[in-house]
C-alpha cells in the first residue's frame, strides 16, 4: 500500500527527520516507530551478498552469512555481455529479497586509471562507455525486484592510497569524459535507487559535500531521482553535505551529526526544505522495497551453478598457439596451488563467505580428465624451494602438457591499499621459465584482478585469464581448457608491457593530500593508441577457439546533424570450425583535429553467437554525443562540424572495418573577443572570418609590397600561417592596423556574433 511520503514527513518533528539522515548501525538505517517507519538493511555486493548476520559489529567485519560469490567485475565486464550481467543482477536481486536486504552496495565503476589500484578487481573498466553500459544492465537486473543498488564510488576514487583524504585534481573535461560517464549512463539508463559518494576530495572539495557533483551534475544535468549515500565514514561536514545534496550518512553513530543538522535549521543556516527533500528521497526508495516484497528462496546450489556459467563467458583467452583446447584422452599436469585452492575473489568489503568453491583440479578430475597435480608454489606467498622445483622439472616431460595456475595472492591486491608494481610473485615466473626449458607445451591459467607483467608470454603457447572468477571458477576453467566451452571474453582494460608505460605512472598515487590526473582524458587505450605505443594485450583483446571476420561497415547517412542519429551496420562471420561468440566493437575518431583528442573512443559493442560459417549483421546507433568531447569553454558537449571515422573490429588494435561520416552542427564554441583573440580563431569562425578577410585584403592592397618568396600563392599561404596565431593587439606592432582602428575592428567583429 503506497504511503503518502510528503504527508508523513509533514507529521515528523525536526529531530525525527534529521535522525533519518544517518544510519542506525553499521548496516541499518534508523526507524521512526511512532510513524511506522522501520529500519532497512543495506549490504555489500557487488558480486554477491556480504550480509552480516544479526551480530553486526561496529566495523562490519564479522563473518557474513553463507552466500554465492559471483565473478568480480574485472571478469563480468570482460564478457562484454549486457544480458549476462543483467542476469547476474536479476539473481542477486532475488537473493536480496530472500535475505531482506533493501539495497545491495554496487556496482563499482571507478575508472581503472592505473593498473595498481587495489580495488581494480571490483571495478569494471578503463573505458567509461563499457563501464556505464554494463553497470546499467546490472542495476536493471537487481532493481527488477525493487531492490536498490548503490553505484559507487561517486566520483574519482581511482586509488586506495589515502582514499579518505586525498584530493583528485582533475580537469572538468576529464571528469565529464572519463570519470563521470559510467555514472551518467547508469542514471539515464537505469536510475539506480542510490548512489554512493566517494571518500576523496575532487579539486579540494570532499565528494560528500560537493554541490557541483551531487546536485549540479547529478540532478540538474542528469536528472537523478534516487538518494545519495556516503561511502561508509565519508562525511566531513554533515550540514554542508545536506546543502550539497548528500541524503544519507552511513554507517551509524550519527547522533551528533543529526543534531548538528537540526541546530543548523533552527539557527537559520539550513533550509528545512532541504532536510525534507533528503528524507523524501530516502523513504521513496525504502518504501518501494517495502511495497514490493517478493517470496524468494536463496537457492545457493542453483546460484552456484549460475555463477559458474557466467564465468565461462567472462574468461579471456589471451594467447593460444593451438595448445588449447586440451585433448581429454591425453595426460596433463596441473601445477600451482591455485589449481586446488582457487583465487576467485578480492579482499575487503566485497569479500563473500562463499557457499561452495570449485577448484579446477577437482572439477577436471570429476570430469574424468587424465591429470595429476604438483603444488610447485603456494597460493598465498612468494615461495618455491629448489627441491620442489627440481622434483617438478623431473616429472614435467612425462605429460603431454603442463598447466600452470598462476596469479596474485590476496595479500597483493585488495581494498585498502594499492599494488606497488605489476609483477607476479617471482617464484611463479621462475617456475614457468624453468619449466619451459624441459616442456614446450605449457599453458598458464591466471587468477588476478588486474593486469600483470608476463615476462614469459612470448615463450608460453597459451595463456587463459580467468580474472577473479567467483566460486564456480573451477568448473569454468575445466570446461574451457578441455573445449566444452569456447572462451569469449575480451579485455576491459589494456595490459601494458610494463607499469612505466601506463599514462598515470608519473602521477600515481600522489601523496596523502593530492593526486594529479595529469594524463587528463588519455586514460588506457586512449593513451596507448594515441601515442602508438605497443602493449602486451590491447583493450578489447580476446581470442576464441574459432575465428571471426568483421567487415563491411556501412552507415544509413553520409552526413548527419544535431538531433539526428546515425545507424552503423557491420557484418561478422564465423570463419572457423566451431560455434563461438564474438564481441564486435565500434570506435569513433574525430578527423578534424580541432582539439587534443584520443585517436579513438569506444561507442558501441555487441556480443553475437555464430555457428561455423554463419554471418550476422550487427547494428549500432550513434548520435552527436558519441562524436563529442566536453568543451569547458562551452560548458557542454561539442562535436565540431567535419569528418569522423567509424572503426569496427574485435579489439582496439584489431580494426578490420572502417567508414567515414560527416557531421554538421549548429552549435558554436564561445568566441572570446578581445585584443588577445588570434586571427586564426576569427578566421575559423564563419561569423567573423569575412571581417578578417576584408581587413587582410585591404592591407595587402595598401601595402602593395612583394611577398617573401615572390610566388604570390606561396606568399599568401605563408602569410596566413603566420597570421594564425597573431593576436589582434599585434596587428598594430606589425603595421597591419593603425592603433586608432583597433577598437573599430573589435566593434565590427563583436557585431557579427
- Catalytically active residues are 231
Cell matching residue 599: 585517436
Instruction: Decide: is 127 part of the binding site for ligand GLC (CB under 6 A).
Output: no
The one among 32, 68, 105, 445 contacting ligand GLC by CB under 6 A: 105
Return the number of the residue (123 or 630) whose C-beta is nearest ligand GLC: 123
Cβ atoms < 10 Å from Cβ of 713 = 9
- Alpha carbon distance 464, 438 (integer Å): 21
Minimum distance of ligand GLC from residue 61's CB (angstroms)? 9
Q: What is the DSSP letter of 740?
A: G
Residue 332 in 3-state DSSP? strand
* 232 binds ligand GLC per the rule CB under 6 A: yes
Q: Which is nearer to ligand GLC, 5 or 61 (CB)?
A: 61
Closest separation in Å from C-beta 350 to ligand GLC: 7
Q: How far is the CB of 346 from ligand GLC (least distance, A)?
A: 11
Residues 6+ apart with CB under 8 A from 644: 588, 589, 590, 591, 592, 627, 660, 661, 662, 663
Question: Which secondary-structure segment (H or E) carries 375?
Answer: none
Out of 231, 249, 258, 650, the residue judged to bind ligand GLC by CB under 6 A: 231
Shortest separation between residue 133's beta carbon and ligand GLC, angstroms: 21
- 608 backbone dihedrals φ, ψ, rounded to 5°: -125, 140
The secondary structure of 526-563 as a DSSP string is: HHHHHHT---SB-TT--B-SS-EEEEEEEES-SEEETT
Q: Please identify which residue in the block is written with the cell numbers 560528500.
A: 208
Does 152 sit near ligand GLC (CB under 6 A)?
yes
563 φ/ψ sector (left φ>0, alpha ψ -120 to 50, else beta): left
x-or-dash string of contact with ligand GLC, 429-468, rule CB under 6 A: ----------------------------------------
Q: Does 160 bind ligand GLC (CB under 6 A)?
A: no
When asked if residue 585 is in the footprint of ligand GLC (CB under 6 A), the reply is no
Separation of alpha carbons 35 and 462, rounded Å: 63
Question: Which residue stretches of 73-207 are H helix?
Answer: 73-76, 82-98, 128-143, 172-174, 181-190
Helix (H, G, I), strand (E, B) or coil at 382: coil
SS3 502: coil
Comparison of 198 and 428: residue with beta carbon closer to ligand GLC: 198
Per the CB < 8 A criterion, the answer to whether 254 and 21 are in contact is yes
Find the shortest distance in angstroms from Cβ 45 to ligand GLC.
7
Q: Which residues contact 540 (CB under 8 A, 6 or more apart)?
A: 490, 491, 525, 583, 585, 602, 649, 650, 651, 652, 653, 654
Residue 539 lies near ligand GLC (rule: CB under 6 A): no
- Work out whether 44 is an interface residue with ligand GLC (CB under 6 A): yes
Label residue 36 left, alpha or beta by phi (over 0 means left) and psi (-120 to 50 means alpha). left
Instruction: Give the shortest CB-447-to-ligand GLC separation in angstroms.
Output: 22
Q: Is 128 in the site for ligand GLC (CB under 6 A)?
A: no
Three-class secondary structure assignment of 413-472: CECCECCCCCCCCHHHHHHHHHHHCCCCCEEEEEECCCCCCCCCCCCCCEEEECCCCCCC
Q: Minimum Å distance from CB 70 to ligand GLC?
A: 16
Q: Is the peptide bond before 155 cis (omega within 30 degrees of 0)?
A: yes
Q: What is the DSSP string of 267-311?
A: TTSS-HHHHHHHHHHHHHHHHHHHTT-------HHHHHHHHHHHH
Which residue lies nearer to ligand GLC by CB, 231 or 582?
Answer: 231
Beta-bridge partner residues of 149: 104
Closest separation between CB of residue 96 and ligand GLC, Å? Answer: 14
Instruction: At 69, give phi and psi (nearest 5°).
Output: -95, 110
Residue 421 CA: distances (Å) to CA of 97, 115, 378, 408, 413:
41, 9, 20, 12, 10
Based on CB atoms, which residue is closest to ligand GLC, 105 or 432?
A: 105
Q: Is 453 exposed, middle or buried (0-12, 13-18, 19+ CB in 10 A)?
A: middle
Between 88 and 446, name the residue whose CB sits nearer to ligand GLC: 88
Binding-site size, ligand GLC (CB under 6 A)? 7
In the bound state with ligand GLC, the residue whose beta carbon lies nearer, of 232 and 467, is 232
Q: Does 60 bind ligand GLC (CB under 6 A)?
A: yes
CB count within 10 Å of CB 442 equals: 24
Q: What is the DSSP letter of 736?
A: S
- Enumerate residues 493-522 that contact ligand GLC by CB under 6 A: none
Looking at beta carbons only, is 149 or 448 nearer to ligand GLC? 149
Among positions 289-328, residues that touch ligand GLC (CB under 6 A) are: none
Q: Minimal distance in Å, beta carbon 60 to ligand GLC?
A: 6
- In 470-619, which residue ranges form alpha helices assigned H by DSSP? 473-481, 525-531
- Shortest Å distance, C-beta 199 to ligand GLC: 7
Which residue, 349 or 677, is less far from ligand GLC as judged by CB? 349
Contact letters (x/-) for ligand GLC, 540-579, by CB under 6 A?
A: ----------------------------------------
**Closest to ligand GLC by CB, 114 or 652:** 114
| Residue 207 half-sphere exposure toward CB, CA atoms < 13 A | 30
Q: Cβ of residue 638: shortest distance to ligand GLC, in angstroms? A: 34
Task: Name the residue nearer to ligand GLC (CB basis): 195 or 339.
Answer: 195
Q: How far is CA 692 from CA 87, 301, 558, in A?
A: 60, 75, 32
Q: Which is nearer to ligand GLC, 23 or 470 (CB)?
A: 23
Q: x/- site string to ligand GLC, residues 339 to 358, per CB under 6 A? A: ----------x---------
Least separation in angstroms between residue 415's CB and ligand GLC is 6
Residues near ligand GLC, by CB under 6 A: 44, 60, 105, 152, 231-232, 349
Amino acid at each position: 500500500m503506497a504511503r503518502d511520503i510528503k504527508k508523513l514527513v509533514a507529521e515528523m518533528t525536526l529531530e525525527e527527520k534529521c535522525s533519518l539522515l544517518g544510519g542506525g548501525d553499521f548496516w541499518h538505517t534508523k526507524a521512526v516507530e511512532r510513524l511506522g517507519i522501520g529500519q532497512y538493511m543495506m549490504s555489500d555486493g557487488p558480486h554477491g551478498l556480504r550480509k552480516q548476520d544479526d551480530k553486526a559489529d561496529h566495523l562490519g567485519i564479522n563473518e557474513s552469512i553463507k552466500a554465492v560469490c559471483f565473478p568480480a567485475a574485472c571478469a563480468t565486464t570482460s564478457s562484454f555481455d549486457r544480458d549476462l550481467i543483467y542476469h547476474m543482477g536479476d539473481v542477486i536481486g532475488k537473493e536480496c529479497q530472500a535475505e531482506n536486504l533493501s539495497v545491495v552496495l554496487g556496482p563499482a565503476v571507478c575508472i581503472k586509471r592505473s593498473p595498481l589500484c587495489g580495488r581494480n578487481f571490483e571495478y569494471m573498466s578503463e573505458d567509461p562507455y563499457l563501464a556505464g553500459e554494463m553497470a546499467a544492465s546490472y542495476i536493471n537486473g537487481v532493481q527488477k525486484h525493487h531492490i536498490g543498488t548503490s553505484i559507487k564510488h561517486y566520483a574519482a576514487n581511482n586509488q586506495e592510497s589515502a582514499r579518505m583524504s586525498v584530493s583528485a585534481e582533475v580537469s572538468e573535461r576529464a571528469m565529464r569524459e572519463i570519470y563521470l560517464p559510467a555514472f551518467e549512463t547508469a542514471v539515464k539508463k537505469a536510475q539506480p535507487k542510490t548512489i554512493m559518494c566517494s571518500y576523496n576530495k575532487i579539486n579540494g572539495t570532499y565528494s560528500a559535500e560537493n554541490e557541483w557533483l551531487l546536485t549540479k551534475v547529478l540532478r540538474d544535468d542528469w536528472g537523478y531521482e534516487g538518494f545519495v549515500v556516503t561511502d561508509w565514514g565519508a562525511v566531513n561536514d554533515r550540514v554542508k553535505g545536506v546543502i550539497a545534496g548528500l541524503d544519507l550518512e552511513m554507517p551509524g553513530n550519527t547522533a551528533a551529526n543529526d543534531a548538528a543538522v537540526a541546530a543548523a535549521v533552527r539557527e537559520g543556516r539550513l533550509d528545512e526544505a532541504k532536510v525534507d527533500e533528503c528524507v523524501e528521497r530516502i523513504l521513496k526508495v525504502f518504501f518501494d522495497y517495502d511495497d514490493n516484497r517478493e517470496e524468494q528462496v536463496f537457492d545457493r546450489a542453483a546460484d552456484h551453478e549460475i555463477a559458474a556459467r557466467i564465468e565461462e563467458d567472462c574468461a579471456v583467452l589471451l594467447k593460444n598457439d593451438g595448445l588449447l583446447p586440451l585433448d581429454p584422452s591425453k595426460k596433463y599436469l596441473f601445477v600451482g596451488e591455485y589449481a586446488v585452492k582457487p583465487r576467485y575473489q578480492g579482499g575487503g568489503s566485497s569479500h563473500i563467505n562463499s557457499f561452495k568453491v570449485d577448484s579446477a583440479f577437482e572439477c577436471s578430475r570429476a570430469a574424468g580428465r587424465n591429470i595429476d597435480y604438483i603444488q610447485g608454489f603456494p597460493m598465498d606467498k612468494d615461495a618455491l624451494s629448489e627441491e620442489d622445483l627440481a622434483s617438478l622439472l623431473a616429472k614435467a616431460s612425462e605429460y603431454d602438457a603442463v598447466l600452470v595456475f598462476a596469479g596474485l595472492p590476496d595479500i597483493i591486491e585488495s581494498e585498502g591499499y594499492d599494488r606497488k608494481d605489476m609483477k607476479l610473485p617471482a617464484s611463479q615466473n621462475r617456475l614457468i621459465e624453468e619449466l619451459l626449458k624441459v616442456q614446450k607445451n605449457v599453458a598458464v591459467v591466471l587468477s588476478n584482478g588486474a593486469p600483470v607483467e608476463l615476462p614469459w608470454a612470448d615463450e608460453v603457447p597459451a595463456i587463459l585469464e580467468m580474472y577473479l572468477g567467483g566460486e564456480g571458477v573451477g568448473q569454468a576453467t575445466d570446461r574451457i581448457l578441455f573445449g566444452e566451452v569456447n572462451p569469449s571474453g575480451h579485455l576491459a582494460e589494456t595490459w601494458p608491457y610494463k607499469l612505466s608505460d601506463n599514462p598515470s605512472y608519473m602521477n600515481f598515487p600522489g601523496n596523502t593530500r593530492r593526486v594529479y590526473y595529469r594524463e587528463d582524458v588519455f586514460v588506457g587505450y586512449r593513451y596507448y593508441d594515441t601515442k602508438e605505443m605497443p602493449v602486451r594485450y590491447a583493450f578489447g583483446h580476446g581470442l576464441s577457439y574459432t575465428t571471426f571476420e568483421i567487415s563491411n561497415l556501412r552507415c544509413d547517412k553520409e552526413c548527419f546533424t544535431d538531433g539526428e542519429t546515425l545507424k552503423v551496420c557491420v557484418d561478422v562471420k564465423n570463419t572457423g570450425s566451431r560455434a563461438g561468440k564474438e564481441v564486435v566493437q565500434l570506435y569513433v575518431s574525430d578527423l578534424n583535429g580541432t582539439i587534443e583528442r584520443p585517436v579513438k573512443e569506444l561507442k558501441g559493442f555487441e556480443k553475437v553467437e555464430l555457428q561455423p560459417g554463419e554471418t550476422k549483421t550487427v547494428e549500432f546507433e550513434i548520435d552527436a554525443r558519441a562524436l563529442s568531447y566536453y568543451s569547458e569553454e562551452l560548458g557542454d558537449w561539442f562535436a565540431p562540424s567535419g569528418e569522423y571515422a567509424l572503426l569496427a573490429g574485435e579489439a582496439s588494435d584489431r580494426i578490420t572495418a572502417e567508414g567515414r561520416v560527416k557531421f554538421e552542427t549548429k552549435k558554436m564554441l564561445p568566441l572570446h573577443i578581445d585584443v588577445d583573440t588570434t586571427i586564426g580563431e576569427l578566421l575559423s569562425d564563419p561569423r567573423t572570418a569575412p571581417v578578417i578577410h576584408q581587413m587582410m585584403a585591404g592591407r595587402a592592397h595598401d601595402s602593395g609590397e612583394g611577398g617573401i618568396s615572390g610566388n604570390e600563392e606561396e606568399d599568401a599561404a605563408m602569410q596566413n600561417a603566420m597570421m594564425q596565431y597573431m593576436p589582434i593587439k599585434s596587428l598594430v606592432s606589425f603595421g597591419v592596423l593603425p592603433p586608432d582602428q583597433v577598437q573599430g575592428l573589435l566593434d565590427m567583429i563583436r557585431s557579427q556574433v
